[in-house]
Amino acid sequence: MNTSNLPQPAESKIAFDWRFVTPLYIGSALNPVNTSFIATALVPIAAAINVPVGQTAVLVAALYIACIVAQPAAGKLSEAFGPRRVFLAGILAVLAGGVLGGLGHDLATLIVSRVLIGVGTSTGYPSAMLLIRQRAESAGLTGPPGGVLGGLVIAGMATAVIGLPIGGFLVAAWGWQSVFFINVPLALVALIMAASWIPRDPPCRSIKTLRDLATRIDLAGITVFSGAMIALLVFLMSLPDPDWVVLGVVILLGLAFVWWEGQVSQPFIDLRLLGTNRPLILTYVRFALAMLCVYTVMYGVTQWLEIDKNISSADAGFIILPMSLISIVLAWLVSRLNLVRTPLIVSAVACLAGSAGVFLFTTATPILWIVIITAIFGITMGMCASANQTTFYTQVTADQIGTASGLFRTFGYFGSVASSALIAIFFNPDVSDQSLHSIAAVLVILSVVGLLIVIADRKIMALAKV
C-alpha cells in the first residue's frame, strides 16, 4: 500500500467537479440521516398506531438488518451491473419507502418502509466508492482522491450529528410522518442530479438470463449471508438474556456460507482472497472496534447522564455534540492529506485515553470534564474513519472496491450493534456509576486490542506517508 503519490490538485478538480460529487454525497448521507431521524419519532408513532413504545424498536432494528445485509450486496451489484444503475435503483427504493412510511397506519407497513429505506440507502456508499475509483483511474490519478473520500466521511458524520435535532423539529412541526416523507424531496434531488450528472454505465452484455444473474452476483451466497447476519443481530439484541438457539443458527449458517463460497466460481465474498489479504481484514477489525467504543460512549454515556445525573435529553445531546464536531474537522483534514499511519495511532491512543477517562466518571463529575472526555472520542471517530477508508481504498483492486466498501460499512454496523448489546448487558437491571465503570473497563480492553492491531500491522507502520 502506498499513499505517498498524491494526485495533483488540478487533476482532482478536473476529474471530480461539484456536479459529479454532489449526488454521491447526498446519496451517502441518506443512510445515517435515516438512522438518527427515527429516534425522535418512536414515541409518537407508538401512540398513533396504538402499540407499546417498546415494539417500535423494531423500526430501528429493521434498518440495521437491512443495512448490514444490503451494504456488501449493493457493492457486488455495483460491480456486476454498474454503480450508476445501482445508485439510481437505491434512490428509487428510498423514494418508495418514504412514501409508504408516510402513508402507513400500522407497524407492519412501517417495517416494510424502513426495510426499503435501509436497502435503498445502503447502495449510496459502495456505489459511490466504485464510481470514484473508476473516475480516478480513468483520469490517471496516482493516489486516492483524498478530498473526495473525505467528503463521503463528512457527509455521513455531519448528517448523523444534525439528524436528531432536525428529526425533533420535523416531528414537532409536522408529526411523525415527516421523518418518512422527508426522504421524498431528498431522494428526488439525488435522483435528478445523479441521472443528469453521473456518466452512464456500459451495457451489461455478460448477463442474459436469470440464471446468469444469480451466478454473477452469487444469489445463494447473498441469501445465506443474509440469514447469518439477521440471526447474529437477533442474538445480540437478545442480550443480556442470550438466545443460545439463535447463536447455534448463526454458527450453522456461517459454516454453510464459508463452504458455499469455497465452491462457486464467482463468490459474493471471495473468502479465499480475503484470507490472503490480511491487511484488509485488519482494517475492517480496526474500524469495527473503534466504532464499538465510540457508539458505546455516544449512547451509553448519554443514557447515564439522563438517568444517573438527571440531565435532560436535550442537554445530554449538547454535551456529546463536541465529539461529533471534532470528528468532522479531523475527518476533513486526514482525508484531504491522505494520512494513514499517524491518524490510526493517534485515534487508538485517544480511544484508550478516553475509555480510561470514562472509568473515572461519577455523579459528582463536573460537566466540563465529561465534555472533554467524550470529545476525545471525536479524535477516534474522525481519524479512524478517514484513515481506514483511505487504507482499504488502496488494499483492493477497482473491480473489488464495491463489495469491499460495503463490507467496510457492515463492520461499522457490527460495532454499532455490538455497542447496543454491551450497554444492554451492563445497564441491566439499572444504570449506575458502577455499571458505567464496568462498560469503561471493557472499553479499555478493546482499546488496547485496537492499539496493538495498529502497531502489529507492519505495512501501516512502514508507511513513509504519515
What does the pLDDT read at residue 3?
Answer: 45
Q: How many residues are present in the chain?
A: 466
* Alpha helices in 239-338, H assignment, sequence order: 244-261, 271-276, 278-296, 302-307, 313-336
Where residue 36 sits, what CATH number does that domain have?
1.20.1250.20
User: Rounded distance, CA 249 to CA 94, Å?
Assistant: 31
Q: Cell match 436469470: residue?
A: 210
User: Rounded distance, CA 74 to CA 406, Å?
Assistant: 7
On whether both 319 and 344 belong to a single domain, the answer is yes
On whether both 258 and 351 belong to a single domain, the answer is no
**The three three-digit cell numbers of residue 246, written as one number:** 439463535
**The three three-digit cell numbers of residue 219, written as one number:** 444469489
pLDDT digits 0-9 by tens, 227-262: 998 888 788 777 778 889 999 999 999 999 999 988
**The three three-digit cell numbers of residue 95, written as one number:** 423514494
pLDDT digits 0-9 by tens, 81-133: 899 999 999 999 999 999 999 999 898 999 999 999 999 999 999 999 999 99
User: Rounded distance, CA 31 to CA 208, Å?
Assistant: 32
User: Rounded distance, CA 403 to CA 248, Å?
Assistant: 27
pLDDT band at 8 (very low <50, low <70, confident <90, very high): very low
What does the pLDDT read at residue 190?
Answer: 94
On whether both 249 and 337 belong to a single domain, the answer is no
Please compute the mean of the pLDDT values over residues 301-307 and round it to a whole number: 82
On whether both 176 and 288 belong to a single domain, the answer is no
On whether both 346 and 254 belong to a single domain, the answer is no
pLDDT digits 0-9 by tens, 395-416: 888 888 888 888 898 888 888 8
Contacts of residue 266, defined as CB under 8 A and 6 or more positions apart, other chains included, come to: 215, 216, 218
pLDDT band at 265 (very low <50, low <70, confident <90, very high): confident
On whether both 333 and 222 belong to a single domain, the answer is no
Question: Mutual orientation of helices 219-238 and 244-261 as an angle, nearest 10°?
Answer: 160
Please compute the mean of the pLDDT values over residues 180-195 and round it to a whole number: 94
Please compute the mean of the pLDDT values over residues 189-199 and round it to a whole number: 94
Instruction: Quote the pTM value.
Output: 0.84
Residue 204 domain flag: no
Q: At residue 113, what is the residue type?
A: S
Q: How many domains does the chain fold into?
A: 3
Go through 114-126 and write b for each residue having 16 or more CB atoms within 10 A of its CB, e for each that does not.
Answer: bbbbbbbbbbbbb
pLDDT digits 0-9 by tens, 335-385: 888 888 899 999 999 999 999 999 999 888 999 999 999 999 999 999 998
On whether both 391 and 464 belong to a single domain, the answer is yes
Stronger pLDDT, 211 or 174, i.e. the higher one: 174
Helix (H) or strand (E) holding 106: none
What does the pLDDT read at residue 10?
Answer: 46
What does the pLDDT read at residue 6?
Answer: 43
Structural domain of 227: 218-267
pLDDT band at 151 (very low <50, low <70, confident <90, very high): confident
User: Rounded distance, CA 74 to CA 401, Å?
Assistant: 11
On whether both 313 and 169 belong to a single domain, the answer is no
pLDDT band at 195 (very low <50, low <70, confident <90, very high): very high
